[in-house]
Structure formats: C-alpha cells, structure tokens
Structure 1
C-alpha cells in the first residue's frame, strides 16, 4: 500500500484507539499465544506482540451480509494449555473476536467453548484421539509440534480436504497457514494479527552520535543489504574510554541469525515437497547465505547472549539488535534513546524483504471429531472479525502504532506482517540438531560451508531417508503411554 494510504489508515487507527479504553494494550491475538511468558516469534508469531489499544466494535463483520447457517446447536471446543477465551478489555483484536463469537453463536445456532486441556496439550491431543474421544475439536499448537509428527501420526486432520476454507482470505495469517502445509495439504489455520517476527532494531540516537547512515533511507532506497549491514555493524563498535575494549557494539543478537540470512536470500535448510521434505542446503541461494554468515560471524565483533543482549540494546550499549518485534512492547518501552525497526537486510538473491520466524502458533483440527466440515465452517466464521482488507489493516496499524516510535516502523511492520517465513526444520528434531551443529561450526570457523557439507552430506541424506520411513504411529503410542503413566516416565529418568 502506498504511503499516503498508509498514513490515512494510521490516522483512522489512532482515532479508533482513542475512542476505546484508553491506554490498555494487550499481548497476542486470540488465535495464538506463546508457550511460556517469552517466545520468539509465532504468530505474532504471537510471540508476545502487543496488539494495541481498544477500538469501537463497528469494524466487526457481523454488519455485513452473510449466508444463513444453522448448525443445530453444535458446540465447537477450542483447546489449549491455557484459557484462550478472548478478553474484550485486552486488545482491539480480542474485543472484536469476542463480539464476533457472540454474533455467530446467536445467529447461526452454535456455541464456542474454550477448553483448558493441560500443560501437556500435545499429549492430551494424542491420547484422546487414539482413545477415540478427542478432547477438543480444534487445538492450539506450535507449528514444529504439528509438523510432521501430529500429521504423520494421524492426530491432525487435513483441513484442506474438507473443501470449506479459502486459506487466502484476509482473516488468515499467511505465515501460520504456510507453517501447517505438508505434502500438499493444509493442516492448520491461524487468525491474522499484528505479528512480525525477526528484524533489526536500531538505536537512532547512537547512529546520529557516531555518524552512521540512516537505516530508513537505506531501506527506502533499496540499499539495505548484507554488505551495508556488515559495514555498519563494524563501524558501530566504539571504544569510548580508550581501554582497548568496545563499550558500544555495532550489533548484537540472541539466536537464529543464520536463518534470517537464509530466508532473506530466498533459501532454507529444507524445502517442502509432495513427498515430505528434501535438503536444500546446497542451492546457490543457500550457499551464498552460508558463506556470508561464516564471514560475518568470524569478522564482526558482536554481543550475543540470551535476554542480556536485549537489555544491552535497551540501555544504549548496542547500535543494532536482531530480535522479534514482540520486544518493542515488552522491553523497549523503557528505552531512553530513540529507536527504529527495519527488516533483516536483503541478500543478493533475495526478491523481497521478509521476516524469519522459527515457529508459528496456529490451530489444528483433531482427527475423529464429529462433522469436521461444520467445525471448519464455524471457525472460518468466527475468524471474520473485520469486514474487509481495509478494516484489517486499520486494526493492525493501530496495534503496531501502540508500540512503534515512528510511522516508518509502522509501515514496515505492516509490510512484513504477511511475510513471516516459518521454517519447517524444527519439526524434524534430529535433522534440526544436526544442521544447527553444522551452522555452529561455520560460525566459529571450524569448517567452511563446503567442508561442512562434504563432511555431513551422507549423515544428512541418511536422516532425510529416515524421516521418509519413520514410524510416527509408534511415536504417538509412546507419547500416549508417557501421558497416561507419568510416574513410570519419572522413575525411568
């Protein structure tokens, strides 16, 4: 969308927010929430992204003309490890979702029940489906727990086979939908929200102080690329007291850096196929990413850590920070310096700016439920909390504006919100471990991309073959036994 249109939408969103319940800003959308208090990306990735201030209910889609439905009093049970009942006081999205549910219940003769299935929600899904009595109809799930095990194990059913849902509709989150695609079928749905995964936060105060180029200008001129990123990361290192050590770092990060290099260059470690997944580490795009990552890690001094790197950026000790958007509301509200947000820089083979995410948090439908077509139809109806694309963008802009410090960051977040790239790698745990160990060897200089691939090729290919022949049904039975007999599991440990 052009900038004038964005500005108009932002003004509308701010007016909506002002008309609501003051300064309340909730976290997460109704369709997904992080597992634990802090998470990187899900449908936000959900990952703890604040959803903005309250707005009026006029945007709810109940005012549009819709076909008449009568579901005969059907109750759809939506399960999770926590109570996902939308709280109208929390955010514009939850308010609209609560109103939409009420409308659908009253007009289409159905009921929505939110069910807490326990902390081990995956074990609950598996056990109940294998026992012939699904604990819920629809269940929250992290994408790497869904794909491939719950799909191959027969716990999740292919929603696309029902022929009910248009997954390209504006109320569906593109990243969440893609995260649930496997062997040509769709197994997950996620409601669209104000979610952006990884990007680069930059300290505008430090950039001005040390004469570093404006990242917004680089982005808008199409010059925000890997080389410029490396150049600024080096130039930002400052020894302010002359003791021979950097007091301010040009760049810091916590995890998943290699995967943003990959996704920003149109690459991935594995690629989905109709048969499952195949290795794609040796494509030209992947090799470019691996080589630049190895060079960057070995030649750019940087801070890394867990939460400490976020605090270092917040406290003005780093010029740039690689993180997911959710920290804007959770950590940066207390930041004294001015900050901005840009996408991860584009690689030489990249076609557009994207946002890598390690996971999404969509909904799956359990196998064995009654009349699954009705369940899919009801879920589709309650997801339609706004009338059209424009109203969705108004709400999303309002949510981003609640945490952003400038309008350019809002524009960028809106652009990225449907360009979250979720890798399927984490779902294949043994392969994921093997690949990440190889990435570590590149980062510390133990191996080059070429020698690492040569040394690991046969093991990687064997792991792919094992994935294709793996007995997931046996895995499901094993998890069911652990769920039903936790004492035996603890004794075995």
Structure 2
C-alpha cells in the first residue's frame, strides 16, 4: 500500500494545481479536436454555452490557426474554460486540438515534441514547471505578447514575477487558487454526532489547529467500536498546507529572484511537530486499503476529514444532486493559532507556450481569454453557469470556492517545493507525507521530522545552489 500511495501522490501532484474543471476530465493518452463545425454532446446537451453577447479585449487580431494543446484535460469542453475557448474560437478564428496525457507524462511528451520540431502551442503548468523545466529552456517568453497594464492583469503582477526565470516571464497564470486544498467532511454525520460545523467555526474566525483537533477527537470518540478515523488524503499537500498556515513557504523566491529554502525555519518546525502529534495520537491515518483519493470513508462517515484538492469537491456535489439527504462540505486547512494572520497556501494554474511554438501570439490571446473569465463581469457570469452545469456545485459550494479566488483579501503563501529535480522533489514529498502519516515511505519510517529534514537538507541545498547558479 505504501507504493500505491506514492503513485497516487505523483498523479495528484499535477492535479492539485489545476483549476475547478481540469482534474475531473480524462488524463489518458488520447487526442480530441474541436472546430466551429463540429456538434458535440457537450455543446448541445450537457453544457451549452453562448458568448455571442460578450465583448472583451483579449488582444489584437491574429491569423486564424489550429493550436496544439498538450495536457491533462480537454480545454475546449471543461466547465471553467469552455466559455473562454468559445470566445477565442468565435472571435479570433482559432481552434485548439487537445492531446491528453497523464500529468506525469507531460515532461517526457513535451521534450520529445520540442526535439522533433513538433512543439505544441499550449501546455499545462505543473509542479516541475518552475524552476526545473524553465531552466531547460522548454518555454517561450511571453512579454512581447502580454500587456500587463490590461485590466485583467491588475493586482497579480507580483505573483507572475514569482515565476520569472532569468529575467523573463514565461508563465502568466490565469487562475489564482488561494487554499487549493480543502478538508472535506460529511456535514450530515457531524450534525448527528453533535460536532460543531467546521464551516461555522471558519465563519466565526475560530477554525484553528486546535478546533480541528477537537473535531477529530470527538468524531473518533463517537464510535464505541473504534471504527472511525480522523484525517486522511493527499499526504504531502496536506502537510504543506499546515506548514503554509504559519505564513512560511518551504521554498520561496527572494527579492533577488533566487530560491530560498526554509526547512529549518522555527515556524516550519512548529507545524511539523503539530503534525507529528496528530500522527502519533492516531488522529491522522489511513484506513486499511484506503488511498488518498478514496471517497468512501467520507461518504460512509467513517473518517472525519479528507484533505484533497478542490477538484474532488465536484464528485461529492454530484452525489448530493442524486440524493438530497446527503450533506458534504469543506473548509480550508485551519489557521495556525500562533500566526498573526490566517495564511493560506496558494497555487496558480495556467498554460505556457512551449519553445518552438508557431502560434505564440494566438496562444497568448487564449490565455488572456481565460484570465478574463475571472475579471470580465459578463464572461465571468457565463463561466459560472458553465461551471455549475459541469460540476454540479450547490450555490453554497460555488460561492465559498470563489471566495478563495479573491486574492486581494486573503494572505496567500506561494510555495514551490516540488519543482526541483525529480529525485529531490520526491524526497520532499516523502518527508512531508511521513511527517503527517505513518509509513508513507519505508526509508523514513519511524523517524522524526528533525531526523528526516537533516538527512535531506544536503540534497535540497545542492539543488537550490544549482538553480541559483544559473541565474
């Protein structure tokens, strides 16, 4: 089961940075095409979208073209991207052909395509994009195509510059996800047990490490047979969320643009000690045979919380639509009671233009369309309707999720701990996962946070020195 968890964690690595619709779609190898003349089931029945009355400025006119996309989901039909794609297609005369691959295959497929002179024009951002793939000259800088004074980019330039490499901007995220990972719970079961609703605790400003721990203890103690467990889910990302709630990133970007590791920071140590307490007291554990993405423990009311990317919420919403007696909800990871503010992890999502693309200008217009789906009032409203039809969220779910896209009113921590080389990134995942959960990695079984950190710091520092030496 240890190896299976590691495999799933690798799959989720690409998934949790993705926007609302991205991860609910197939990631098997396949190719789909989209054009104005096609009629699809999605267009006619499942999610009809009209953008005829919308007018936005996503950039100057471009030559019509068919763009090639390489990534994990069909960006022409995904609920949160479809309106932007339709506007791009109808007003700029461009279409997009999607080649779908698993998140762990993107680097290999992209490298092969670039070396053979068959570069795609759009590719998903993933954990290894920055700094690993940027340092390998895999992307096209986009400054000449992007106008940072355009209204859709207001207020996000500082975040965009966090991903600057060698003085150039390759990545203009169109989705900014404060609290990309949530704690999902069975609100109906919580009510039956008599546990205060975590969402209400959050609304009152009382959702902290301590109140979460109290909820878990009450949940476990409510079952005399001992069949209820506490927290499970995305191992490394859950651990990272607790650490970021202190206001500290594991790997940050300094004012000089260089990488800084904070693994020995006192805040990180404190969060790690808290997580080890959860593990040692049996409050964070996996039930036998259960892996990160399993939803059965929440559905059956045998686990208190599942820590997972927001993509999983749609599955619970669809269950609720079929059975109105069900009540699932979610909250962000709790606040550090010693922090001066409520800090949240923040991830971004968007597309990069690979090196060798023939249609960088057209791809940049599409990226602008995607960003405008958040900032333009009319396109945003159309996008909401598309998401609601596609994802089946309740109004309460949608409104709460969207509140975490308002980055101006939240304290976001940008952390990039998984973008080093593959070996070091896996070491970091294993250390984080084994801090919160037992037997995540046989290499670190039974070790304390301090032991795991000290054994890994040499490798981490070597990689950071390597990347900083390239700048």
Pairwise same-fold verdict (TM > 0.5)? yes
1:390 aligns with 2:383: no
Instruction: State how far apart, in whole Å, the 1-side matches of 2:370 and 2:162 are.
Output: 18
Indicate how the Cα distance of structure 1 residues 393 and 353 shifts in structure 2: closer, same or farther if over 3 A, else same.
farther
SS of the residue 1:326 aligns to: helix
Aligned 8 A contact 2:178 2:344 in 1? no
Among candidates 327, 339, 342, match of residue 349 of structure 1? 339
Q: Residue by residue, what CA displacement relative to the aligned partner does 1:182-224 show, whole Å, maximum 9, x if unpaired?
A: 4554322344499973111122222122211122221111111
Q: Does 1:427 align with 2:399?
A: no
Give the equivalent residue in structure 2 for 1:98. 86
8 Å Cα contact 1:76/1:113 also seen in 2? yes
Change beyond 3 A, Cα 1:401–1:38:
farther
Task: Answer yes or no: is the 8 Å Cα contact 2:319–2:326 preserved in 1.
Answer: no
Determine which of 400, 405, 409 is the counterpart of 1:412. 400
Are residues 171 and 135 of structure 1, via their aligned partners in 2, closer, same or farther at CA, if it must alter by over 3 Å? farther
Count of matched residue pairs: 419
Aligned pairs for 1:368-387 (under 5 A) are 368-369=356-357, 372=360, 374-375=361-362, 377-380=364-367, 382-383=369-370, 386=373
* Contact residue 83 and residue 382 of structure 2 kept, 8 A: no
- After superposition, the Cα gap between the structure-2 partners of 1:354 and 1:118, relative to the gap in structure 1 and judged at 3 Å, is closer
Q: CA deviation at 1:289?
A: 1.7
SS in 1 for 2:377: helix
Kindly state the Cα deviation for residue 169 of structure 1 after the two structures are TM-superposed.
Answer: 1.6
**Match status 1:41 vs 2:26:** no
- Does 1:135 pair with 2:138? no
SS of 2:403's partner is helix
Q: Are residues 376 and 151 of structure 1, via their aligned partners in 2, closer, same or farther at CA, if it must alter by over 3 Å?
A: same
1:26-425 equivalence runs, <5 A? 40-44=15-19, 46-48=21-23, 54=47, 57=50, 61-62=54-55, 64=56, 66=57, 69-71=60-62, 73=63, 75=65, 77-80=67-70, 84=74, 86-87=76-77, 91=79, 93-105=81-93, 111-114=94-97, 116=99, 121-130=106-115, 133-136=117-120, 138-160=121-143, 164-165=147-148, 169=152, 180-182=163-165, 185-192=168-175, 197-238=180-221, 240=223, 242-243=224-225, 246-255=226-235, 256-273=237-254, 274-304=256-286, 305-306=290-291, 309-331=294-316, 333-334=318-319, 337-347=326-336, 348-349=338-339, 351-352=341-342, 354-355=344-345, 362-369=350-357, 372=360, 374-375=361-362, 377-380=364-367, 382-383=369-370, 386=373, 388-391=375-378, 393-395=380-382, 397-398=384-385, 407-417=395-405, 423-425=415-417
**Which shows bigger deviation, 217-226 or 437-446?**
437-446
- The alignment yields a C-alpha RMSD, in angstroms, of 4.2
Contact 1:254 1:307 in 2 (8 A): yes
Q: Report if the CA contact (8 A) 1:180-1:188 is conserved.
A: yes
| TM-score, normalised with respect to structure 2 | 0.73
How far apart, CA to CA, are the structure 1 residues paired with 2:58 and 2:293?
53
In 2: Cα distance, 1:307 partner to 1:38 partner: 12
**Gap change, CA 1:67 and 1:272, over 3 Å in 2:** closer
Question: What is the distance in 2 between the residues matched to 1:303 and 1:353?
Answer: 25
Deviations 1:457-479 (A, max 9, x none): 444333433444589xxxxxxxx
Residues 144-183 of structure 1 deviation map (CA, whole Å, 9 limit, x = unaligned): 2322232111121222365545587269999995785445
* Residues in 1 aligned to 2:59 and 2:397: alpha-carbon distance in whole angstroms: 41
* Structure 1 residues 296 and 341: CA distance shift in structure 2, 3 A: same
Residue deviations 1:206-246 (CA, integer Å, cap 9, x gap): 21222111222211111111111111111110463x44xx2
Structure label with greater radius of gyration: 1
Unaligned stretches of 5+ in structure 1? 1-34, 106-110, 472-493
Partner of 2:33: none
Distance 1:422 1:79, change over 3 A: farther
CA gap of 1:48–1:179, structure 2 versus 1, over 3 A, is: farther
Map Cα deviations across residues 76-115 of structure 1 (whole Å, 9 max, x no partner).
623215784624xx6474145224321122xxxxx44425
- Gapped runs of 5+ residues in structure 2? 1-9, 26-41, 439-444
Match of 1:461 in 2: 461
Shift, 1:312, TM fit = 0.9
